[in-house]
């Protein structure tokens, strides 16, 4: 790789929402921008979480100089503990980002972890790259975009951003800084595409403040607000409303308690301990005098609000007179869980406020006009839309093309698609290994795909086990085989199923005995073939058939 060449390899976050991670490589080394995780869906049943496939980093570990984090959300930092187990490199991030990372590493029992704090506006050399951090608004404080001076030119990663001119902390996205980078000349921009399908601007967080004020004004009983535990701005809006309306603040839910603690400690949340009610004391505070912050805005079955809605929370009960605010939008895939929570809470008589019926939430990702504004300021030569499903990347590209960026200067990549920049030119060179590392049972699972397929088959059609005792001498069947099923149809309910299955297996083994087949794998293969055929013809289901042949 020659001195003037730059390579950029997105390892996650393209063609998907989540697990954002990009490798930036030149002769002097590799730096990683973000290290996110994604959550499992119906195609990854039983999985704890999903990491980007980082085979590429394993193959180039001696080149890896460090990791740069844009903000503290799981889809940007969640993979960090797994990376730091394999690569001992410094991690750069803002104060809040590192605060969240530190507690995450503790959970994972990772003592070491060379965390280096930076501030928006700072410059930092790392592995021959010149880093510069730009303050941006997002649904978590202390988020930054990252400008990187490379041997091939200046490139910019937006991180997650929106442009809120009246943000909670009074610090709008640093437009001037973006303009200065644009004046210097941006070779390539890697821009957040999450809301690229959405026209106009995302409303300011201030609009949520107004909704909270209305709700707090009206509420005569207890107020419960569920939000993302990382949404410190939203949380501080609740705290401020509580102050104004003379309510104490309760905090429930493991991650909410943790994040509120971190935010207070680091000065991102002005919540005096005199205002805080411990969970065990919440019952003793008059309903009119408390507002409770909690997790569960996504209907996660184990989160505080979901358990309260289901009536299974050990200390908090909801009923008539209580006001509940779900201050978040359901993430795609969570719609039903959120609906279940809302239905349960209403059935208990609570007054429930939720989006989109009320403005209790605004997105943390800029819409089309904000994306245009950033493109106008940075004036990048090349655009690589990142963070989003293909349709979002495609819309982001169209927006850029509408602003005069030539089609051939916009690159829609998939994970692993490697770009090369040199002499002001850009091209796709190849695809490196990319995809998913599944974390199952607490560890990175190796043979994941086969097991995912098994789980999907089991979940729909179940399992059918047959145990046959055969003679070690002649392979003859000794007595009728046993059949046991789980998750299949009820063999008793479906008439003759058990008997016919036994008959099928018996016929198979008579045939194999005649043919003098004694090899057990061969016998199992024959049993599986005949029995699967019988079962699917009889029930139209295809359970996993597990034949067990015991020689006696």
Enumerate binding residues for a copy of itself (CB under 8 A): 15, 41-42, 45-46, 197, 332-333, 335-336, 339, 342-344, 346-347, 352, 357, 389-391, 394, 440-443, 445-447, 451, 454-463, 465, 467, 469, 482, 484, 486-490, 492-494, 539-541, 544, 546, 548, 550, 552
Q: In this complex, which beta carbon is closest to a copy of itself, that of residue 63 or of residue 389?
A: 389
255 annotated as a binding-site residue: no
114 annotated as a binding-site residue: no
Q: In this complex, which beta carbon is closest to a copy of itself, that of residue 17 or of residue 131?
A: 17
Q: In this complex, which beta carbon is closest to a copy of itself, that of residue 214 or of residue 425?
A: 214
73 annotated as a binding-site residue: yes
**DSSP states of 144-211 as a string?**
EEEEEEETTEEEEE--S-B--SS-TTS----HHHHHHHHHH--SEEEEE-TTTTS-S-PPPHHHHHHH
Q: Quote the least distance from Cβ 258 to a copy of itself, whole Å.
A: 21
Task: Indicate the DSSP class of residue 410.
Answer: B
Q: Quote the least distance from Cβ 444 to a copy of itself, whole Å.
A: 9
Q: Quote the least distance from Cβ 205 to a copy of itself, whole Å.
A: 23
Task: Indicate the DSSP class of residue 361.
Answer: -
231 annotated as a binding-site residue: yes
**Rounded Cα distance, 364 and 137, in Å:** 8
Q: Quote the least distance from Cβ 185 to a copy of itself, whole Å.
A: 32
Is residue 349 within 8 A of residue 319, CB to CB? The reply is yes
Q: Quote the least distance from Cβ 199 to a copy of itself, whole Å.
A: 8
Q: In this complex, which beta carbon is closest to a copy of itself, that of residue 71 or of residue 396?
A: 396
Residues labelled catalytic: 192, 365
**Rounded Cα distance, 109 and 107, in Å:** 5
**Rounded Cα distance, 67 and 21, in Å:** 10
Q: Quote the least distance from Cβ 397 to a copy of itself, whole Å.
A: 11
Nearest Cα to Cα of residue 381 among 1, 2, 6: 6
313 annotated as a binding-site residue: no
**Rounded Cα distance, 321 and 341, in Å:** 17
| DSSP SS3 for 314 | coil
48 annotated as a binding-site residue: yes
Sign of the Cα pseudo-torsion (314, 320, 323, 328, in order)? positive
CA distances from 449 to 30, 38, 43, 53, 382 (A): 30, 17, 10, 13, 36
Q: Which residues pair with 51 in a beta bridge?
A: 437
Is residue 160 within 8 A of residue 387, CB to CB? The reply is yes
Q: In this complex, which beta carbon is closest to a copy of itself, that of residue 12 or of residue 72?
A: 12
| DSSP SS3 for 420 | strand
Task: Indicate the DSSP class of residue 273.
Answer: G
Q: In this complex, which beta carbon is closest to a copy of itself, that of residue 102 or of residue 486?
A: 486
Q: Quote the least distance from Cβ 193 to a copy of itself, whole Å.
A: 12
Q: Which tokens is 477 given?
A: 């069947």
Q: In this complex, which beta carbon is closest to a copy of itself, that of residue 376 or of residue 443?
A: 443
**Rounded Cα distance, 361 and 376, in Å:** 28
**C-alpha count within 13 angstroms, C-beta hemisphere, residue 120:** 23
Q: In this complex, which beta carbon is closest to a copy of itself, that of residue 473 or of residue 492?
A: 492
440 annotated as a binding-site residue: yes
Cα 550 from chain centroid (whole Å) = 46
229 annotated as a binding-site residue: yes
Q: How many other CB atoms sit within 10 Å of the CB of residue 319? A: 12
Q: Report residue 482: phi and psi, to 5°.
A: -95, 145
76 annotated as a binding-site residue: yes
Location of structure tokens 């998939």: 414
Q: Which tokens is 230 given?
A: 């990382």
Q: In this complex, which beta carbon is closest to a copy of itself, that of residue 486 or of residue 511?
A: 486
361 annotated as a binding-site residue: yes
Q: Quote the least distance from Cβ 330 to a copy of itself, whole Å.
A: 9
Residues 6+ away with beta carbon under 8 Å from 346: 352
Q: Quote the least distance from Cβ 399 to a copy of itself, whole Å.
A: 13
Is residue 415 within 8 A of residue 390, CB to CB? The reply is no
Q: Write 261-264 long-range contacts (CB < 8 A, 24+).
A: 262/96, 262/99, 262/100, 262/103, 263/96, 263/99, 263/141, 263/232, 263/235, 263/236
Q: Which residues are annotated as a binding site for Zn(2+)?
A: 71, 73, 75-76, 138, 160, 387
Annotated binding site for Ca(2+): 46, 48, 440
Which residues make up each annotated binding site?
46, 48, 71, 73, 75-76, 138, 160, 229-231, 361-365, 387, 440
Binding region for substrate: 229-231, 361-365
């Amino acid at each position: 790789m020659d001195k003037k060449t730059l390579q950029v390899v997105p390892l996650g976050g393209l063609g998907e929402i989540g697990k954002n991670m990009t490798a930036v490589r030149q002769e002097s080394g590799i730096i990683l921008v973000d290290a996110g995780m994604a959550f499992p869906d119906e195609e990854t049943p039983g999985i704890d979480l999903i990491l980007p496939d980082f085979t590429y980093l394993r193959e180039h570990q001696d080149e890896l100089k460090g990791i740069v984090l844009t903000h503290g959300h799981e889809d940007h930092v969640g993979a960090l503990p797994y990376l730091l187990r394999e690569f001992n490199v410094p991690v750069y991030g803002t104060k809040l980002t590192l605060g969240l990372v530190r507690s995450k590493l503790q959970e994972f029992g990772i003592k070491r972890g060379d965390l280096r704090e930076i501030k928006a506006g700072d410059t930092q050399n790392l592995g021959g790259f010149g880093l510069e951090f730009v303050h941006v608004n997002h649904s978590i404080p202390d988020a930054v975009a990252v400008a990187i001076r490379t041997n091939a030119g200046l490139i910019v990663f937006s991180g997650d951003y929106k442009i809120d001119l009246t943000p909670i902390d009074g610090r709008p996205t640093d437009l001037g800084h973006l303009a200065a980078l644009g004046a210097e000349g941006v070779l390539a921009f890697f821009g957040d595409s999450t809301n690229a399908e959405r026209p106009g601007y995302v409303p300011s967080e201030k609009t949520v403040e107004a909704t909270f004020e209305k709700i707090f004004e009206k509420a005569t009983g207890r107020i419960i607000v569920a939000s993302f535990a990382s949404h410190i701005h939203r949380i501080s809006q609740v705290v401020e409303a509580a102050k104004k309306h003379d309510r104490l603040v309760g905090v429930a839910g493991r991650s909410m308690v943790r994040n509120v603690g971190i935010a207070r400690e680091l000065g991102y949340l002005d919540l005096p301990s005199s205002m805080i009610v411990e969970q065990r004391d919440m019952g003793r505070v008059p309903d009119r005098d408390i507002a409770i912050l909690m997790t569960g805005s996504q209907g996660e079955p184990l989160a505080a609000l979901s358990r309260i809605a289901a009536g299974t929370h050990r200390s908090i009960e909801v009923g008539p007179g209580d006001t509940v605010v779900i201050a978040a939008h359901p993430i795609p895939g969570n719609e039903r869980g959120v609906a279940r929570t809302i239905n349960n809470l209403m059935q208990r008589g609570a007054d429930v406020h939720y989006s989109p019926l009320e403005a209790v939430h605004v997105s943390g990702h800029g819409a089309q006009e904000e994306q245009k504004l950033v493109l106008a300021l940075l004036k990048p030569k090349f655009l690589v839309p990142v963070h989003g499903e293909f349709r979002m990347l495609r819309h982001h590209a169209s927006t850029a093309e509408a602003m005069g960026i030539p089609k051939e200067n916009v690159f829609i990549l998939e994970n692993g698609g490697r770009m090369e920049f040199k002499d002001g030119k850009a091209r796709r060179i190849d695809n490196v290994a990319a995809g998913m590392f599944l974390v199952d049972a607490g560890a990175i699972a190796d043979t994941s795909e086969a097991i995912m397929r098994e789980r999907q088959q089991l979940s729909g059609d179940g399992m059918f086990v047959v145990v046959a005792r055969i003679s070690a001498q002649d392979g003859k069947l000794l007595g009728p085989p046993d059949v046991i099923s789980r998750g299949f149809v009820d063999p008793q309910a479906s008439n003759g199923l058990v008997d016919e299955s036994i008959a099928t297996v018996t016929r198979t083994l008579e045939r194999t005995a005649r043919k003098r087949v004694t090899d057990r794998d061969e016998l199992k293969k024959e049993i599986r073939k005949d029995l699967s055929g019988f079962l699917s013809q009889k029930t139209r289901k295809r359970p996993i058939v597990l034949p067990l042949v015991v020689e006696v």
